[in-house]
Amino acid sequence: MNTDSLFYRLFQNFPPLLFELIGVSVPQSEGYQFNSVELKQTAFRLDGVFAPPKQAETSPIFFVEVQFSGEREFYSRLFTEIFLYLRQYKPRHPWQAVVIYPSRQVDIGETQHYQELLEQRTSRIYLDELAKNPDSIGLSLVQLVMDSQEEAIQRGKALVSQTKQEIEEGLTRRQILDLVETIIVYKIPNLSPEEIQEMLGFTEIDIKQTRFYQEVYAEGAQEGRQEGEVQLVLRLLSRRFGQLGARQEQQIRQLSLEQLEALAEALLDFSSLAELEEWLERQ
C-alpha cells in the first residue's frame, strides 16, 4: 500500500488536519496549500510543503515528511532539503518541520547534529500513539490508513455514517466519502469497488458522486460527459448573468472536464461576469 500518497491526499483535501495532528492553532489554516516541491539539486525533493496565505506573514511554512521506513541519514537529508528550499525560495515566513512515523521504532535517524532543530523546529508524530477512536473525522481518516483490514471495515462504515450525519451535502462531504473509499480500496484490493461501496453503506446517490463512478461508470463516453458539463455550465451562467459573449463561450468550451467541474462549483460564488473572466484567465 502506498501510504505516503494517502497521507498527501488527506493533506491536500484537508490542510487543517496537519495542525490537528500536531496540536497547533494557526491563523487562516484553511488558506494553506499543500504541494510537493522540487529543488534544483540532484536527488532532492520536499515531499510536502504547507504554504500559508501570502497575507499571513507571521504564519509558518510547514515541511512535512511521512516516514514509514527506518533511515539513519533521514534528518541529514530532511534539513538539507529544508535549507535548500529556504535558500532558493527565500520565504518571509518562519518555518516548522513535521515528521509522521507509524511508531517510535521507525524513528532511527541520527540526531547528533540536529538536536536544537528537532527540539525547537520539529514535531514528530507517532501514529500508533494517537487516540484509537477520535471524535474528529480528519483524525479518524488517519487512523483508517493505519487500521488492519478488519478494523478498517468497521471504521470505514462508522466514518461514512458520521460524515452523513455531520457534514452537509456538498464538495467536502463528497471528498470525505471518496477518501474513505480510496483508503479501503488500498487496504482490501481483493474486493471490487462495488463490493466496497455496498459494505460501506453507500446509497445510489453516494455512489454516483464517487470518483470511481464518475471515472468508470458515468453514462456516456468522455466526449458526451464533457459536452453535458459544458451545457450545464452555460445554462447556469446564462441564468445568473444573461447571454454570454461568443469569446466567453468559446473559452468555456475549450476547458477540460476537470476545469468545467471546477467552474460549476466556482460560479456559485461569482457576483459579476468580470469574476468569470478573471477565473477563465487563470486557467
User: Could you report the per-residue pLDDT of 17-56, keeping only the tens digit for each?
Assistant: 888 999 988 887 888 888 877 766 555 677 789 999 888 8
φ/ψ of residue 62, rounded to 5: -115, 125
Rounded to whole angstroms, how far apart are CA atoms 155 and 149?
A: 10
Which long-range contacts link 143-148 to residues 24+ away (Cβ below 8 Å)?
144/180, 144/183, 144/184, 145/3, 145/6, 145/7, 145/10, 145/183, 146/102, 147/187
Q: pLDDT at position 104, please? A: 96
Answer yes or no: pTM beyond 0.95: no
> What is the DSSP secondary structure assignment for residue 104, as one 8-state letter?
G
Give me 216's grid cell: 468508470
Find the range with the poorest average confidence among 10-14, 28-32, 155-159, 268-272.
Answer: 268-272
Rounded to whole angstroms, how far apart are CA atoms 160 and 251?
A: 38
How many beta carbons lie within 10 A of that of residue 229, not counting itself? Answer: 20
Q: pLDDT at position 158, please? A: 94
pLDDT at 273 over 60: yes
Query: What angle is formed at CA 58 by the lines to CA 55 and CA 64, rounded to 5 degrees?
Result: 95
List the domains of the chain with CATH numbers: 3-129 (3.40.1350), 137-217 (no CATH), 222-282 (no CATH)
Write the burial class of residue 77 (CB in 10 Å: 0-12 exposed, 13-18 middle, 19+ buried).
middle
Is the separation of the CB atoms in 231 and 223 below 8 Å? no
Spacing of C-alpha 107 from chain mean position: 25
Give me 64's grid cell: 512535512
pLDDT at 75 over 50: yes
Q: pLDDT at position 190, please? A: 80
What digits encode the pLDDT tens for the residues 86-118?
999 899 999 999 999 999 999 999 999 999 999
Mean local confidence (pLDDT), 188-193: 78
pLDDT at 237 over 90: no
Give me 226's grid cell: 464533457
Mean local confidence (pLDDT), 255-282: 83
